[in-house]
Every structure is written in C-alpha cells, then in structure tokens.
Amino acid sequence: MELDRRQFITAAGGTGIAGLAGCSDGPSDDGTETGDGSTGGNASATTNVGIVYATGGLGDGSFNDQAEQGLQQAESEFDLQTNSLQPQEASEFGNLQQRFASSADPEYDLVSCIGFLQADVLGETATQYPDQQFQIVDNVPTNDDGEQYDNVASYTFKEHEGSYLAGTMAGLLTLESVSIGSGSTQSDSTNLGFVGGVESSLIQKFEAGFVAGANAVSADIDVQTNYTGDFDDPSAGREAAASMYSSGSDIVFHAAGNTGTGVFQAAQDAGKFVIGVDRDQSVTKSSYADVILASMVKRVDTAVYSAVEAAVNGSFEGGAETTLGLQSDGVELVDGQQLGSELPESVTSEVASTRQSIIDGEIDVPSDPSNA
C-alpha cells in the first residue's frame, strides 16, 4: 500500500537521523531552555508529536490502544514523527511531559497526554512551557482561578451518554429471552452488572449513564456494581463478573481497561453477554466476539487525531475544551462484529431512537451515580 511504504521510509530515515544526532553532539537535549514551537527550526515539514500514555500501557485493548490508533491514523496521513512514552506510575507523568516540552531535538509540535490523571501536573508543565502545545484527553486542567491554560487543548467525553445507550440495550435485552452467539438472556431476570476499574468520578460517569439507561427501560432493573480497584487485574474482573452472572445478571458492562478481559472471560464461561468499552472490543478482543453485544466506543482516537491534525495545519487551539458526545460521534455504542447483526430489530431501533433523543436533548443523562 502506498501510504504504508511512505510511512516506512519516513520512519527509517527518522531513526537514522536520530541515531546520528545522538552520536555527533552528544546528549544536548537536556537543556533547560524552554521549547519554542513557533520558531522551531525544523527545515522539513515533519511534525513532531510526543504522546504520554496513561498508566496501564499499550495492549490494554481499550483506552491506550484507542489513543494509539488515532496517532497511527494521523501518522498514515501526515508527515509525522512520533515518540511515545508509557509511564509505569502516575508520578512519572510530570517528568515525561517536561521531557517532551523541553526537548530541542526534535522540538515537539504537540504533546499529547492521555488520561485524566495527567491533568494536575500538566497544569504545571503548561505554565512552565507556555510555547509548547499540549493536548489532554479526559480532563480539563485549570489554574487556581479556574481558567484553562492557553496552550492546552482539552478533550473530554460524555461517557455517560454512550453508557446510557449501553444501559438501554442491556435493559431491553435482559427483559427478553434472547440467545445469540454463545450467550443468552433470561426474561425472568432483571439484573445487570457494571464492573469498574479504579473508583473515580470518571468511571462513575460510565456507571451513572449505564444505570440511568437501564432504569429508563424498566425501573425494576437492578444494576450490581463492583469496582475491582485496578485497571489491569483481569483475574479480579473475572471474579467480579462471574459473581454477577451467577447471581442473575445477563449482561455486564465494564469500564475497567484491561480488567475487562476477565469480564469477557467470565461472560464466556457463564454463557452470558458483555458490553465492551473504549474500543470496538469485538474486534480488539476478537476471541470474545461471541459474547460481546456491543462496545461503548470512546473516540479517543478522534481526539488524538484531530489534535494532531490541528498541529499539522497550524490550527491548534489551546485554552479550549472539546467535549465529544453522542452528537459529535465522540462516543457511540457500536454493535459487536459477530452479534450485532443478530440483535433483535426492536432493540437496535430503540437504541437508535434513544440516541437521537439524547442528542436532541430530550433525555438528560446524569453523570454521577449518586443522583442517577
């Protein structure tokens, strides 16, 4: 493919240059001079993008992988040079952000920070490197006066909206007796489950939307919740979901990163259904496609892609928050690859109409489970 070859050549050349630079003038990239995006002396039109992923790293099959996908898409379309860092702990965020910001060779045109935990330190970094363009996903850093930073573009999602649809679908299905793929639901059970990773306001948005969606279908529906305390503990996810399935839940929705892998496993074991998160997990976790009804896709890739695109085009706009909801296709409920076509027509159409209602503002979706 044409694009691929170009990408390969760029990457190869880039690596060579980086290697050479490393040898000739030694480590000079540790200067304390602040980077200056506007006077960047790059002769080529190459745009440099640095990305700091959330802890949990790549291969989580959801959040980080989705961000990577956006970057890869941008790479295939623009003349990009990227460097990605996967911190092992949250305390590394600041350091890694600053590394990108302070780097003079190359100078980064955009530093993309993935995950809400990066917000606080990003505030500091952004103040310190006012000429560096930053992007953050899932949070809006503000200073003490509640103002956003001029050089930070924030992208947030209305996860509760997408989750509401997940709740709608799950609620409808659990009231019926459906048997598709390797799973089935029993009409006599009115239980659903939600497995969260680390208990936090962000994940609670998923929970709130899901519960509200399900309860809108029928007030009788009961949603069991469990926070495993970890985004990368599949065993815990499995036990949590297994416990839900065995106590009558037909469908479990997870917002737990890699912990979700265990949820899928439990669904397969129990012959029940699951709704994925962040990406179309019936694709990324294809071995579980036979139980994944749908996935609440959060277009982190869109967020990353559009920020990169803006940086390439010189149209980067800091100090603003972009909220991606159902309306802007920032979140969506994507039917499973394998099961989607087998979903009852009544369910899919109901979900579609609910979606429209939310977009039209007819349904107000709560973002906090305590007042759901």
Residues 46-75 that bind another protein (CB under 8 A): 55-61, 64
Query: Is residue 97 within 8 Å of 111, Cβ to Cβ?
Result: yes
For residues 37 and 197, which CB has a smaller minimum distance to another protein in the complex?
197
Binding-site size, another protein (CB under 8 A): 83
Q: How far is the CB of 78 from another protein (least distance, A)?
A: 19
Write down the least CB distance from residue 127 to another protein, Å: 8
Stretch that binds another protein, among 169-177, 206-214, 229-237, 327-335 (CB under 8 A): 229-237
Question: Please, which residue, 66 or 354, has the CB nearer to another protein?
Answer: 66
Please tell me the distance from the alpha carbon of residue 199 to that of residue 94, in angstroms, as a whole number.
23
Are 339 and 106 spatial neighbours (Cβ–Cβ below 8 Å)? no
Q: Select the residue interacting with another protein from 36, 230, 321, 350 (CB under 8 A).
A: 230
250 neighbors 224 (Cβ within 8 angstroms): no
Any contact of residue 233 with another protein (CB under 8 A)?
A: yes
**Of these, 6, 28, 317, 323, which contacts another protein (CB under 8 A)?**
28
Alpha helix segments (H runs only) across the chain: 2-24, 63-77, 93-102, 119-128, 159-174, 201-217, 234-246, 259-270, 281-284, 300-313, 345-359
| Binding positions for another protein, 196-225, rule CB under 8 A | 198-202, 224-225
- Residues 290 to 329: which contact another protein by CB under 8 A? none
Task: Indicate the SS3 state at residue 113.
Answer: strand
Give least dist CB 22 to another protein, A: 6
The residues near 101 (Cβ < 8 Å, ≥ 6 apart) are 34, 35, 108, 111, 125, 128, 129, 132, 134
Amino acid at 155: Y
Piece of 6-14, 180-188, 295-303, 338-346 that binds another protein (CB under 8 A):
6-14
Per the listing, tokens 């949603």 go with 223
**For another protein, which is the closer residue by CB, 41 or 361?**
41
11 binds another protein (CB under 8 A): yes
273: helix, strand or coil? strand
The reply on whether position 12 binds another protein by CB under 8 A is: yes
DSSP 288: G
Of the pair 315, 370, the CB lying nearest another protein is at: 370
Range 329-368, binding another protein (CB under 8 A): none
Site for another protein in 148-187 (CB under 8 A): none
State how far the Cα of 210 lies from the Cα of 237, in Å rounded to an integer: 18
